[in-house]
Structure 1
Amino acid sequence: MKTLTIIDTFGFLFRSYFALPPLKNREGFPTGLLTGFAKLIMQLHRDYPNDYLVFALDSKEENFRKSIDPFYKANRPEAPEDLKLQLEVAITWVEQMGFKNISIAGYEADDVIASINKCANALEVNVRIISHDKDLYQLIDGDTFLFDPKSKQEIREEQCIEKYGVTPSQFIDYQSIVGDSADNVPGIKGIGAKGATNLLKSYGSLDNIYQNLDSITPMRTQMLLKKTREDAYRSRQLVRLRDDLLDSFNLQDCKMPRVSPLLNIIESLQEYEIHSVLKKLPIKEKGGKREVSSHFHYQAILVENSTMLKNLMAQITPDSIVSFDTETTDLDVLCAKIVGFSFSFDGINAYYAPIAHNYLGAPEQISKELALTFITALFNAKMVIGHNIKYDLEILRTNFNFTPKSYHNIKDSMLLAWLYQSDMPCNLDDLMHRYFKHTMIAFKDIIKKGENFSQLPIESAFTYACEDAAACYQLFHKINALLLESLKEIANNVEFPFIQCLVNMELSGTKINIEYFKNLKTEMAEKLQALSCEIYTLANKRFNLNSPQQLSIVLFEELNLQSGKKTKSGLSTNSSVLNSIKDAHPIIPKVLEYRELFKLYSTYIEPLIELASQDATHKVYTSFMQTGTSTGRLSSKNPNLQNIPVKTQQGRRIREGFIAQDGHLLLSLDYSQIELRLLAHFSKDSAMIEAFYKEADIHLETAKKIFGETQAKEKRSVAKSINFGLIYGMGARKLSETLQISYQEAKTYIQNYFESFPTVKDFLKEQEEFILQNGYSLTLLGRMRKFNFQNIQDFQKAAFLREGINAIFQGSAADIIKLAMIQITQEKLESKLLLQVHDELIFEAPKHLAEIEAQKITQIMENITTLRVPLRCGVSLAKNWGELKG
């Protein structure tokens, strides 16, 4: 039977304070109580790793017992200052370690304990109470006992009778008679502990004593009872604990973590120099500091038959924490076949169940039917951990048509690692080396070239597969112990639930008009050919237009154009260089046009035709990467559908080839100027806020503020460049290049802007100071973008500050649209979400529901969070993507 430990937070620590030596750290801060508390947590984690733990705390509001007797606890002395200092730290530790510390307004910790105890017993859970308070003896029964952690003695009914001479069920009446001078509980003056015990042995209860009052001897006792009857019953009201204060209790919130909870407070333990605890934790010294130990080991176990898998399935409970990984024939989920899966219940013992290894002499394996039954049971566990588990979920959908009943229990070590350090690689090999100094078995070392996992002998496959399951289990818990609570909240409330959105989006796919693209291919090929001929004529020679080196020779040596920056392979011909000299020679605009066209031709038109031809419904399926950027924005690959140009004619023509299925329309919802709205929200600028509430043209309003009414329309584009430039950390030099004006003029524009919007300047300056001081910037939800400013040059420092400012806005916009997508997914609309292109969502909606569902989605997007300005969406319906008004 499971056991819940309840700690009487203040009561236990108060008594412990007087029992422990008065230790102090080098700065003179008292640490005796903290040392004892940390040792208690270490002991409980060591002795009861599979149990549950919760803390109960007195409320700060006036105790309800004061209404029964205003003198209740009136004589309590003030707590010593050393105790109060340590108590504050200890209570903070409870939260930092991830435990619940429950208090209920107007009630004491003992009442909270009694109420938790009642709920736990109803759930068929034993209760271990750690407290020195004798009031809690009244709770002892077959399922509940008190516990002395120092002697490790359980205090049950036998010990209660031995100490007080009464049973726990008589303890309330016992206290009603003897009273409690420390708490000002009067009891019956003149009758002590021995007299109370004798009375209860004879009559059983306080009520029975008074019902038989006339027969009680000696007469003195009878007279005392008669005289203080009111005190006795008032005392009973004071000592009886309330057990009806909780309607429900979530036991799973109290699960003891697998790794020591003390790892979450290492820095605090170091600060208070609690070395007796630190040296027993799995941490090591590095550079004078302690860090979490990097040891990794696991046991690989092959699931040899169905019976073994069924026995393992019996171990899965609603409280299980499991890791899960699939092995397949391909990285492309649409054509990949599952070969087997691995899992672990503890991060040490990892199992591999082979399903479809296919080679000469391959043994009989687990059937797909049993595999599905096991996987279904596995996903009912309390927590299912994967590394890039989105891939595994898509494999289960495409191979088994399996979708978890709920995504609330699905976790991902890759996403945790990315939240912790968003600018570092998040693949499992790199992370295991970074956090455990462990080198994973390389795929290329076990798979022959041209073969896939199904051709790998099972005896070689299972160790490799098991390593993945053990690694992501241990990695998840390692990083979770390092993560701030705010980032854990983002993981649990945003990033983990967001996986469901991506799985649905990626497997929906987007239909394209394949004939349209074939015609576009022919047209573009002809245009590219014509442009090539024009360029060769202007150059007086034929050369490889796609070779930067050959183009550099033609432009800068043969045509003697002004050269730009030099690279290893010669003078640069990148876009910025060519744009800066585009008026120098007619060849430059032609080269730029050729490049744009060739990029679209090779990046989109040819690949899209090939991909759509492989699909019976002519759909293409992009893959969205949750960890592809350091700001929180999604990125897209294979094919990248987020980077199709929207402002060029050729880019729009490619978008026109993306169409809705028969009977459907494409629906676009695009957040209007979300990053500028965030600038108004963060800076609290009254002019900006007013403009957004009036639904005014923010760029025109900005132009009015900077340049005055008469020049506003003419200068609107300048204002727009400044508005967006500030969000991207743009300075005067970049603005001068963008607007093709002098540096001094650009500098004047920015100065005028800041004079017009002083709160914006103050906000940006405050954020730069915050980033420099703390080494990170924060988004709306608290997502961090970290920077290391140690030993860097000024230009790197300036770049970091630009990135940090940009991350605030871009990251906050990403936060908002993710929250909206999660809510939309939970609504289960008929419209299918196909694509997310930064601030825009594109759906495929049934024609007859398109406008209705557009309104529902708009409501969600515009109300998903509350800013100082309203969120607004642009809505558009069309048969193809190019016709949507973005």
Structure 2
Amino acid sequence: MKKINIIDSFGLFFRLYYAMMGLRSAAGKPSGMVSGLATFIEKMNRDFPCDYAIFAFEGGGATFRHEIYPAYKATRKEAPAELKEQIPVCKEMIERMGFASFAKAGYEADDVIASLVKKYSGEYEIDILSSDKDLFALISDSVKIVDSKNKIWYDKEGCFQKYGVYPHQIRDYLAILGDTSDNVPGIKGLGERGARAILEQFGSLENATKNAEQIANTRAKNQLIAGAAESELSKKLITLYADIECLPEIESCLLPSNPFEKVVDILKEYSLNRILAKLPKTEQKELFAEPDFLSSSDEKIVQKAKSGELFSKAALSFESVLVLSENELDTLTQNLSENCVVALDTETTGLDVKTAKIVGFSFCVLKSEQRAYYVPLAHNYLGAPAQVSQNAAKRALERIYKAQVVGHNLKYDFEILRNNFGLELPKNYADTMILAWLENPEQKCAMDELASKLFAYETIKFESLVNVKKGQVFGDIEVELASKYASEDAFITLEFYKYFKQVLSKELWEVAKNLEFPFIATLISLEKSGIKADYNALNALNEKISARLKELEAQIYKIAGQSFNINSPKQLGAVLFEHLGLKAAKKTKSGYSTDESVLSSLEHPIAAPLLEFRELAKLKGTYTEPFMRLSSSGERVYTHFLHTGTATGRLSSHSPNLQNIPARGSLARDVRNCFVAENQNMLISLDYSQIELRLLAHFSADPALIAAFKADEDIHARTAISIFGDSEPSHRAVAKSINFGLIYGMGSSRLASNLGISTKEAKEYIERYFASFSTIKSYLAGIKAHAREQGRIFTLLGRQRVFDFSSAGPREQALYEREAVNSVFQGSAADIIKLAMNAIYPLLDENHKMILQIHDELIFEVAKNEAEIFAKKVANIMENVVSLNVPLKVNYAIAKSWGELK
């Protein structure tokens, strides 16, 4: 008989939250519940084998139990904010992974579980993963309750061992006891022992009530008689409703294959590196340097790398040296010079560079890498030895800075050392995380994963030393243990450097030296600036959105004829396509699709308020409320930019994401207007006009496209004339879709879908386009052919993106071809904006701040009387930072708020 696992989702979430409530991601987000859920899913089919699985959720809103007893659950405390913050993430993970889930407005998860059991028990074995005692009433020959924490299965006898009553008596047992957490009254004065005695004697509560006079214990008899009404009410509240309709069909509950591959972004965001490391690694052909780029002593290492032979842990051995003597530290660093290569790493109290304090640093010198040193500065525990002073540490670090400094994620270390010692960046440095990203921008670049991949070397894990859950920091660790961990970081970083020095092409080293390494300083300056968010404006906007959401909610419920959780795709799908009987546009494994395209296609009065509700709910949950929290103290809002966060080379912003502030929509401008220049300053926006189309003209050398840009024509109007013979608005819109669509690898089917035309028409438009711009078709085909043959493409400055066509199926190959085309243009645009930012960097100071980069746009904050001059100076730099076959054009705007810039 096949088995179904039914998971009590919120029960699981709460258990995971309290078990791992101290855990945080690298960005400082609470992550215990998300991490716990990922681990649960990873191990579920091993620990709780099954053929099908479904997550049961609360339906939200008042239930029939509230009608019976308005005080039901009235005393329940509100869940912690950090728990509630993680619930939407966990729900999103479950849905995107492809697991079945179900909720029904007006019913609790227990009712969903009872209904599923009624529908499928007997035909299937069922394990209910929950610690909720109400659910023990569902135990039968084919149904068990599973304590997933302790891996205990409860059948009928197990229920008796745990509670002293059998499953058919659980409702009566709980009706006597009551439940303080749900405000279920029960019978006062009758505890567990009294309840068991009554049910043992009479078999049921009803029978006991009828024959109360037979109870020998006078006190128990009187309590039962006095509490008869309360026990009857309690039993109604506790009894599970098992007749919910429209439950998922069993085949929709199959376990998904490769679920974690569908949520890689969430795994990265919440620093779930252990699970990420287990995902399949993309193989790629390595690009090796010419022999004259190598030192003769390293040839055998290169041959090992070329042949695929990895270093063993035994081959990578070193001595960890703890440095407690300032004289020893002076001796070790006094002869360092610009000809030395020194790997450097810092250990701190936290990940936020603005508040973190240095605890110690480690270093390892090339040619002496058999030894790596750790210098403790601020370990603070009972019995900690005297450590190196801040003055001696600064003196040593200044000497290290004279050498070529190598690090892994140097942006962090440089900011820590500047904030703690006032040290500005060294003259020469190399970042091995960036080198790994340049080798293959889709590989995992974190130190632990990279060491495992390149050298089969297992590093000491931070979690094995520091118990973050208990509030430990690195300074609480004994210096001897800390030395082994920290010195290993410096040692392995130097090994990375040697490896990439051997295997990276000269071209990629040039990209690293001339673009990416200098960009570290630019990024540090950008992150340090921050942007001012107007708390009062955000609060007013949030109240406006909240009021409108209430209006829309009432309007939607009225049209639907019932209340439900509008934010639940499951419930919304059921209302739209079952209750209202609308035609479903598409279905996913987890049910009806209710994405924006589906809602937009609905010809029904409910569509417009739903779309507006969804837009406003996102604005409120993603922007106004989070930014109110960040700006409540009056400080500027600071984002973090990931240098190596995308495969195309673009920067990505997080914690918070300031690149994703909406630019379109009814209230998008209102949101942006909440970000302002301080005091007498102004904001300046400068963005490249149609940079990717200009790159298309440059790379394809198409004479018609080049001529149009040189003449500063409206390129979309020019394209419309070439295709249709005129540039009326509807034809210009089609031309614009084609211009940008081709850059993103769009074919005729996608164009047809976007424009609402037939595939035949779309093909005809594209062919007319190619006829007008004669070299573009062959150029785009050449990108795809090169990607297939060489397994990589290159950007304007020589960065590469790697594709493994050899093991890809037809669908993946088509995807790779589209990404190859897109990466040439988007990646080259990323090259140019980085070059421009590096060129602008010397102009920046406290009065001239670069505060945001949003792909092709830069935003600055400058004094009002300097804004126009500064804007023109920056625009000139941006337009002339590279020389193309067509001119680069930059538009700029000056305003007091972000929303007024365009």
Same fold per superposition (TM over 0.5)? yes
Q: Confirm whether residue 623 of structure 1 aligns to residue 640 of structure 2.
A: yes
**1:337 and 2:394 matched:** no
Structure 1 residues 312, 734: CA separation in 2 closer, same or farther (over 3 Å shift)? same
* Alpha-carbon distance between aligned partners in 1 of 2:288 and 2:690, rounded to the nearest angstrom: 43
- Decide whether the 8 Å contact of 1:394 with 1:507 is kept in 2: no
From 330, 337, 343, the equivalent of 1:310 is 330
CA shift, 1:290, in A, is 5.6
Tell me, yes or no, if structure 1 residue 685 matches structure 2 residue 702: yes
For the 8 Å contact 1:729–1:806, the answer to whether it is kept is yes
- Offset of residue 549 of structure 1: 2.2
- Local SS of the residue matching 1:737: helix
- Equivalent residues in 2 for 1:251-262, closer than 5 Å: none
- Show the counterpart of 1:410: 429
**One-letter code aligned to 2:875:** T
Q: Aligned-pair distance for 1:373?
A: 2.1
Please give the secondary structure, in 2, of the residue aligned with 1:411. strand
Structure with bigger RCO (C-alpha 8 Å, 6+ apart): 2
Within-5 A mapping of 1:605-684: 605-614=624-633, 617-684=634-701
Q: State the 1:372 CA deviation.
A: 1.9
Whole-angstrom CA distance in 2 between matches of 1:647 and 1:321: 49
Q: 1:518 to 1:803 in 2, by over 3 A?
A: same
AA at the equivalent of 1:553: A
Q: Deviations over 1:67-108 (max 9, x none)?
A: xxxxxxxxxxxxxxxxxxxxxxxxxxxxxxxxxxxxxxxxxx
Where does residue 750 of structure 1 map in the other structure? Answer: 766
Counterpart in 1 of 2:217?
A: none
Of 733, 738, 751, the match for 2:754: 738
1:204-243 alignment, distance < 5 Å? none
Structure 2 match to 1:348: 370
| C-alpha contact 2:289 2:506 (8 A) present in aligned 1 | no
Could you tell me how far 1:565 is from its partner in structure 2?
A: 4.0
Residue correspondence of structure 1 range 442-457 to structure 2 within 5 A: 442-448=461-467, 449=469, 450-457=471-478
How many Å apart are 1:714 and its aligned residue? 3.6
Please show how residues 160-179 of structure 1 align to structure 2 within 5 Å.
Answer: none
**What do residues 696-725 of structure 1 show as CA deviations (whole Å, max 9, x unaligned)?**
11100110111003x544411110110000
| Worse-superposed segment, 337-346 or 805-814 | 337-346
When residues 424 and 565 of structure 1 are mapped into structure 2, their CA distance, relative to the original with a 3 A threshold, is: farther
Amino acid in the other structure paired with 2:394: L
- The 8 Å contact of residues 310 and 455 in structure 2, kept in 1 or not, is answered as no
Moved more, 388-397 or 534-543: 534-543
The correspondence of residues 769-788 of structure 1 with structure 2, limited to 5 A, is 769-788=785-804
Q: Which moved more, 1:342-351 or 1:671-680?
A: 342-351
**8 A Cα contact 1:604 1:639, kept in partner:** no
How far off is 1:283 after superposition? 6.2
2 CA distance for matches of 1:537 and 1:756?
54
Shift of 1:625: 0.7
CA positional deviation for 1:364: 2.2
- C-alpha distance after superposition, 1:602-655 (max 9, x if no partner): 2221221212235xx520111111111101111110011111121223222111
Within 2, Cα distance between the matches of 1:285 and 1:808? Answer: 32
Does the CA contact (< 8 Å) of 1:282 and 1:292 recur in 2?
no
Distance 1:768 1:588, change over 3 A: same
Preserved CA contact (<8 Å) 1:284 1:293: no
Runs of 5+ in structure 1 lacking a partner?
A: 1-261, 270-276
Alpha-carbon distance, 1:784 to partner: 0.9
Letter paired with 2:621 = S
C-alpha distance in 2, partners of 1:322/1:268?
Answer: 20
Distance in 1 (CA, whole Å) between partners of 2:461 and 2:298 is 35
> Which residue among 798, 803, 807 is the counterpart of 1:791?
807
Which residue does 1:519 correspond to in 2? 540
Measured against aligned partners, the alpha-carbon deviations of 1:577-619 in whole angstroms (never above 9, x if no partner) come to 333x333x222332222222222212221221212235xx520
2:741 aligned partner: 725
**TM-score if structure 1 supplies the norm length?**
0.66
Q: Which of 616, 619, 642 does residue 597 from structure 1 map onto?
A: 616
Deviation at 1:354, TM superposition (A): 1.3
CA contact (8 A) 1:517 1:605 kept: yes
- Shift of the 268–608 alpha-carbon distance from structure 1 to 2, 3 Å rule, reads closer
Aligned twin of 2:318: 298
Alignment correspondent of 1:486:
507
Q: Tell me how far 1:264 sits from its aligned partner.
A: 4.7
**Residues of 1 paired with 2:386 and 2:854: CA distance?**
47
Are residues 1:357 and 2:374 paired?
Answer: no
**1:881 maps to which residue?**
898
Distance 1:285 1:783, change over 3 A: closer
Shift of the 526–280 alpha-carbon distance from structure 1 to 2, 3 Å rule, reads closer
Q: Deviations over 1:545-603 (max 9, x none)?
A: 22222222222222222224443432232334333x333x2223322222222222122
Change (3 A) 1:402 1:289: closer
CA distance in 2, matches of 1:360, 1:811: 53
The answer to whether 1:763 aligns with 2:779 is yes
Seq. identity, %: 46
> Could you tell me how far apart the structure 1 residues matched to 2:298 and 2:680 are?
68
Say if 2:457 is the partner of 1:441: no
Please name the residue that 1:86 is paired with.
none
Q: Deviations over 1:317-373 (max 9, x none)?
A: 221101111111211212222211111113432111112222233222222222222
CA contact (8 A) 2:302 2:503 kept: no
Counterpart code for 1:419: L
Q: Amino acid of the residue matched to residue 447 of structure 2?
A: L
Q: Which whole-Å CA distance do the structure 1 matches of 2:720 and 2:297 have between them? A: 60
Alpha-carbon offset, residue 794 of structure 1? 1.4
* 1:235 aligned residue: none
Confirm or deny: 8 A CA contact 1:263 1:292 kept in the other structure: no
Judged with a 3 Å threshold, the aligned counterparts in structure 2 of structure 1 residues 335 and 723 are, in CA distance, closer, same or farther, namely same
Distance 2:416 2:841 in 1: 20
- Given the superposition, is the C-alpha separation of residues 855 and 447 from structure 1 closer, same or farther in structure 2, using an over 3 Å criterion? same
Q: Which amino acid aligns with 1:853?
A: F
Counterpart Cα distance in 1 of 2:875 and 2:519: 19
* TM-aligned CA distance change 1:301 to 1:575, over 3 Å: farther
In structure 1, distance between residues paired with 2:298 and 2:690: 54
Q: 1:809 is matched with which residue?
A: 825
Letter in structure 1 aligned against 2:406: I
Q: Distance between the aligned counterparts of 2:825 and 2:459, measured in 1?
A: 37
TM-score by length of 2: 0.65
With over 3 angstroms needed to count, the CA separation of the structure-2 counterparts of 1:469 and 1:516, relative to structure 1, is same
| CA distance in 2 between partners of 1:359 and 1:739 (Å) | 67
Say yes or no: does 1:549 pair with 2:570: yes
The answer to whether the 8 A contact 1:824-1:860 is kept is yes
The 1:541–1:299 alpha-carbon spacing in structure 2 relative to 1, beyond 3 Å, is farther
For residue 867 of structure 1, what is the amino acid of its counterpart?
L
Query: 2:334 corresponds to which letter in structure 1?
Result: A
Number of residue equivalences = 608
Superposed CA deviations along residues 698-755 of structure 1, whole A, max 9, x for unmatched, are: 100110111003x544411110110000000011111112112222221211111111
- The answer on 1:863 being equivalent to 2:884 is no
Report how far residue 543 of structure 1 moved. Answer: 2.2
Provide runs of 4+ in structure 1 moved above 4 Å.
262-269, 277-280, 283-286
2:396 maps to amino acid? F
Q: Match for residue 395 of structure 1? A: 416
**Counterparts of 2:383 and 2:521, CA distance in 1:** 39
> In the alignment, does 2:481 pair up with 1:460?
yes
Inter-partner Cα distance in structure 2 for 1:572 and 1:788 = 32
Cα RMSD (Å): 2.3
Match of 1:715 in 2: 731
Separation in 2, partners of 1:489, 1:345: 23
Residue 370 in structure 1 maps to residue 389 in structure 2: no
1: CA distance, partners of 2:714 / 2:320: 63
Shift of 1:840: 0.4
The alpha-carbon deviation at position 292 of structure 1 amounts to 5.9
| SS across alignment from 1:715 | helix
